Amino acid sequence: MTRRLAREIIFKMLFAFESGNNTPQEALIIAYEKPIEEKDREYILKVCEGVIKNLETIDRIIEKYTIDWKLERLLLTDKTLLRLAIYEMLFCEDIPESVSINEAVELAKVYGDMKSPKFINGVLGAIARDLDNIKKSL
């Protein structure tokens, strides 16, 4: 399985988790009905659970960088994409920040509205510029 597909599944899982109060395992069944190899399943669940575990920290970062936007006002798709990308930027050292940003923008083109890609890119770009300071403050 490609990282792109895994990321899309994780996005759908986080969306299902947020919108339907599903567990990560239930969300995986909702997000992807085909059989998944064990190593891919482990990676997907690890990242999904990592986002959920660090949700408070991630959401504080989102609120700081989405000036004049409350978390509740964000589209659920945008908020979910931001959460996933920020988690990758903070905790997945094997993924370059530019890849996390680009992948979030590409998913925003598919799942968000017309303004989502630009919004996601702007927020994540600002976070990337301050990433060292953000990591030091954790």
| Least confident among 23-27, 83-87, 123-127 | 23-27
Query: What CATH superfamily classification does 3-137 receive?
Result: NusB-like (1.10.940.10)
Cβ neighbors of 26 (< 8 A, separation 6 or more) are 16
Q: What is the mean pLDDT of residues 93-106?
A: 97
Q: What is the mean pLDDT of residues 77-98?
A: 97
Which segments within 1-138 are labelled E, that is strand?
none
| 116, pLDDT greater than 80 | yes
- Per-residue confidence band for 132, with pLDDT thresholds at 50, 70 and 90: very high
Q: What is the pLDDT of residue 109?
A: 98
Domain extent listing, the chain: 3-137
Cβ neighbors of 88 (< 8 A, separation 6 or more) are 47, 95, 100
pLDDT 10s digits, 37-85: 999 999 999 999 999 999 999 999 999 999 888 888 999 999 999 999 9
Q: At what angle do helices 38-53 and 24-31 cross, to 10 degrees?
A: 120
- Per-residue confidence band for 26, with pLDDT thresholds at 50, 70 and 90: confident
Q: What is the mean pLDDT of residues 108-129?
A: 97
Q: What is the pLDDT of residue 54?
A: 97
* DSSP one-letter string for 8-37: HHHHHHHHHHHHH---HHHHHHHH--S---
Mean pLDDT of the chain: 93
